[in-house]
Amino acid sequence: MLSSFSFDDFFSEYNLKTIEDKDLFLASLLSFKNFNSTQIHKLSFLTFAEDKVIIPFEFIKMPHGPFSEDIKDLLNDFSERGLVTLNKEDHGTWEEKKWNLSSKGQQLLLINKDKVDEIKKKLKKIIEVYGISGAKALERFCYSNYLLKYANEKPKDYEARIQTSICDLQIILANRINDLGKIEEIDESSREVILACLDYIENLLNTLLSNEQIDQVIRGILIKKTENYINIWGEIICLANGNENEPKIKDLLKEAKELFNFINTSSKNYGIFESVF
Amino acid sequence: MKKESLILLDTNICIYRTLAYVQPKIYRTELDEVTNKIDSLSNNNFKCNIVISNLVISELKNNSILFWEINNFCFIRLHVRNKYQVLKIFNQAKKSMGKFISKYSISQELEENIKNYPLNLQEIDQFYLKFPQKLQSLTHTKIKNISNPRQKQIKISQRPNDLPEETDRKLLCQAIEIKKLHHSDVYIFSCDGDFTEFVNEIPLEFGINILKLGDTIPSCGED
């Protein structure tokens, strides 16, 4: 089955969704609804980590989970420029401070309507899935899904948990490499390029395993995404034996290319591992 | 070598020339040699017409072929330890390949003028078949690094009766057509055994010269 796919189906540069304009990113996010600061940090993070959109902010681990200094500065800057106001929302027993776009902020959206429409398309999925979640729920999701260190967890226990996750992935990866070597009906050049990609993942995992100084947030993202990538290859290898799986394999190969490019770009942007592109 | 000779570049030479410009620099004498030779041949002294044929361009634009060639070069010549480093070199080579191709790509006019080149194919096959042992040994060299039996079989099938791959034979056909049309000295610059193992025989039979790595370029005006 794999012989029906071309080299470029297995490996090529994938154009990741990207948002470069910080102002329009924040204004577009707030155009969906009003959010508090924690929600803004978490939704921005999930846009990057879950939906694989490259955004112009870096995240680090803070007590409430993924946090971006750039976003904090940008919110202050927006406030000073009169683009947003921080208003109290009364929930009966408790109050919540949320950021609202001012009329000046709305004007910024109008002036840049085309660009904003594009950005909103890229944000839509995350807003639909997570936009209704409160700050606490988003925080919990980030902690559990991205392997962050819980407040009551000892550093050595966290490190042991991470190291176990990485070692498990290394074992599965070794099996995948072995399985790929056994598939006969694949062009040798395509096999070599897949093995080269898996070798990149193997070297990245070694770095994530040996360098405890890497921030928990990017470490968590890269572990999760390499896990997804290795699993996709597992699925492809299984499906390769069937005769009617071509459309499904095609989708999986596309997903694998997107993931590989995302892992590569994120590793490079956070200074963790070199880029192959 | 006569001034204003025409030099057809083989795929492997184009790849070497591109790899010579990859950063960080790959220190291999053959890469520098290719660059220096192309520079010398195209300078004012020789004024050679360097040409990349449409056949070679198709191979260079085929990522599967390009990756395979670069992968082999990295492992056999550079002894690269990590497979992923080949990806990096491949991507850089791909990016700089475009400029190189556009600089030396065959003109539309010349391509049109030599469009009957496949007519020479039979003559070329007959020529090569006079050297069965040499061909067998070349096939053996080309398949020895292929581990997969199926792929080995594919490679063998691309060399019927151990003849060179079709693209190489067709490149020689094009060189013959160019020679007929332009009456100038025509060279094929290659490091492929299908040409370099026949440096004496091909010129005698077809009047096409083979330029290979390690050759010194004869002074301008010399034959």
Report ipTM (2 d.p.). Answer: 0.88
Residues A61 and A148: beta-carbon distance below 8 Å? yes
Do the beta carbons of residue A15 and residue A262 sit within 8 Å?
no
With CB atoms and an 8 Å threshold, state whether A275 touches B146: no
In a domain, residue B114? The reply is: yes
Cα nearest neighbour of B68 on chain A: A189
Mutation pick from B63, B72, B145 vs chain A, by most beta carbons of A within 10 Å, is B63
Q: Could you tell me if A109 and A27 are in contact, meaning their C-beta atoms sit under 8 angstroms apart?
A: yes
The whole-angstrom distance between B86's CA and the closest CA on chain A is 7
Decide: helix, strand or coil at residue A153: coil
Q: Is the pLDDT of residue A187 over 90?
A: no
Q: What is the pLDDT of residues B7-31, one digit of tens each?
A: 999 999 999 999 999 888 888 899 9
Contact B67 A6 (CB under 8 A): no
Chain A positions with Cβ closer than 8 Å to B: 6-8, 11-13, 184-185, 187-193, 195-197, 199-200, 203, 274-277
pLDDT confidence tier of residue B219, bands split at 50, 70 and 90: low
Determine the average pLDDT of the residues in A87-112: 92
Strand duo B186-189 + B6-9: pairing: parallel
Strands (DSSP E) found in B10-152:
49-51
**Residue A195 belongs to domain with CATH number:** 1.20.120
A105 located within any domain:
yes
Let me know: does B13 contact B190? Beta carbons within 8 Å.
Answer: yes
How many CB pairs below 8 Å do chains A and B form together?
57
Looking at the structure, do residues A111 and A220 belong to the same domain, yes or no?
Answer: no
Partners of residue A192 in chain B, C-beta under 8 Å: 67-68, 71, 83, 86
Q: Do A192 and B68 touch (CB under 8 A)?
A: yes
Domain interval for residue B16: 6-211
pLDDT at B220: 62
Domain boundary among A106, A129, A145: A145
Domain membership of residue B46 (yes or no) is: yes
Query: What was the pLDDT predicted at A95?
Result: 85
Please indicate, yes or no, if residue B34 is contained in any of the structural domains: yes
- Averaged pLDDT, A204-223: 97
Using the Cα atoms of residue A101, residue A105, residue A110 and residue A113 in order, give the sign of their dihedral: negative
Q: How far apart are CA A156 and CA A149, in angstroms?
A: 10
Q: Given A105, A121, A145, which residue is the final one in a domain?
A: A145
Residues of B in contact with A191 (CB under 8 A): 148
Domain check: are A84 and A196 in the same one? Answer: no
pLDDT for residue B45:
75
Q: Is residue A183 in a domain?
A: yes
Cross-chain Cβ contact A199/B68 below 8 Å? no
Q: Which residues is A60 bridged to in the sheet?
A: A67
For A114, the token pair is 């085309």
Q: How far apart are CA A198 and CA A177, in angstroms?
A: 7
Q: Which of A82, A112, A145 is a domain's end point?
A: A145
On whether the CB atoms of residues A36 and A99 are closer than 8 A, the answer is: yes
Inside any domain, residue B107: yes
Phi, psi of A100 (to 5 degrees): -115, 140
Residues A86 and A127 in one domain: yes
Range of the domain at A221: 151-269
Split into its structural domains, chain B has a count of 1
Interchain contact, B64 vs A11, CB within 8 Å: no
pLDDT at B46 over 80: no
User: In terms of Cα–Cα distance, which of A93, A97, A125, A123 is closest to A31?
Assistant: A123
Distance from CA of B92 to the nearest CA of A (A): 7
Closest CB to A7: pick one of B63, B82, B83: B63
Residue B87 inside a domain? The answer is yes
**A257 interaction partners in chain B (CB closer than 8 Å):** none
A276·B88 Cβ contact <8 A: yes
Q: What letter would DSSP give residue B64?
A: H
pLDDT in tens, A31-50: 999 999 999 999 999 999 99
Residues of A in contact with B87 (CB under 8 A): 11, 193, 196-197, 200, 276
Contacts of B28 (CB under 8 A, 6+ apart): B19, B77, B78
pLDDT band at B221 (very low <50, low <70, confident <90, very high): low
**What pTM was computed for the model?**
0.90
Of B65, B87, B151, which is closest to A200 when you measure between CB atoms?
B87
- The residue of B83, B148, B156 whose CB has the most chain A CBs within 10 angstroms, and thus the best one to mutate to test that interface, is B83
DSSP state letters, A99-120:
EEE-HHHHHHHHHTHHHHHHHH
Strand order, beta sheet including B208-211:
B49-51, B6-9, B186-189, B208-211
As a whole number of angstroms, the distance between CA A161 and CA A171 comes to: 16
User: Please, what is the average pLDDT of chain A?
Assistant: 95
pLDDT band at B222 (very low <50, low <70, confident <90, very high): low
**A131 Cβ partners below 8 Å, 6+ apart?**
A32, A33, A43
Q: What is the CATH number of the domain that holds A63?
A: 1.10.10.10
- Compute the nearest-CA separation of A32 from chain B (Å): 40
Residue A100 has pLDDT above 90, yes or no: yes
| % of chain A with per-residue pLDDT over 70 | 100
Spatial separation of the C-alpha atoms in residues A67 and A48, rounded to whole Å: 12
Q: What is the rounded distance in angstroms from the CA atom of residue B192 to the CA atom of residue B13?
A: 9
B134: helix, coil or strand? helix
